[in-house]
Amino acid sequence: MKRSKSLKLALMGATILTMSACDNAEDTAAIFKDVDECAQFEGENLDQCRQGWEKAAEEHVRTAPKYTSIAECQADFGEEQCEQAPQQTSSGGSVFMPMMMGYMMGSMLANGTRSNVATQPLYRSKDDPKTFRTGDNQKVSTKTGVQPVPSTVTKAPSTKTSTVRRGGFGTTAARTSTSSRSYGG
């Protein structure tokens, strides 16, 4: 094999390894069901917990998956797990979104500062009720407390600008979704 081809193959292999290593990067985040659970955790104080919850609640309205009917939302998130969103459809109809089941925020580091993790709401799908997920349907964790999480979930979720007829947040919905926008898990 010529030297130039060997060098190209070696560079391609190094690039793939580098990209794989980036995919496995982790950050440290604090994940809690509510303010009370956060306040009971060592290293967190009530004011920080409330601020984190309020920030996540603001993001919840902005980034939660939206549905045109409560039944479609409940198909992905379960009975009693959806609420009416503050906005309406362009035709004046109601919009529905899952309830916030927890929140993630940057955890306290040794020097007293917070990590660079976006504070955001977390959800649980009907098909995987033990796992916290972001508004972009990325798996975060099944546990609460301060812990390592994939760096791919620590960025703020994208803003949802349209409602979905049947998004498919969970695994069952992903198999039956006919929408061009799928949240399959």
> According to the model, what pLDDT value does residue 144 have?
93
pLDDT (tens digit, 0 to 9) for every residue of the chain, 185 residues total?
Answer: 555 554 444 444 444 444 444 445 788 899 999 999 999 987 778 998 999 999 999 999 999 999 999 999 999 999 999 999 987 777 778 899 999 999 999 876 666 666 778 899 999 999 999 999 999 889 999 999 988 888 888 887 776 545 554 445 554 444 333 333 334 43
> According to the model, what pLDDT value does residue 110 have?
60
pTM: 0.71
| H helical segments located in 24-152 | 35-40, 46-63, 70-77
Could you state, in order of their start, the residue ranges of all structural domains in the chain?
25-176
3-state secondary structure of 78: coil
Measured between alpha carbons, how far is 96 from 80 in angstroms, rounded to an integer?
12
Q: Mean pLDDT across the chain, nearest whole number?
A: 77
Residue type present at position 156: A
Whose CA is closest to 49, among 57, 62, 65, 37?
37
> According to the model, what pLDDT value does residue 56 have?
96
Which strands, in side-by-side order, build the sheet including 26-32?
139-141, 128-133, 120-125, 102-106, 26-32, 145-150
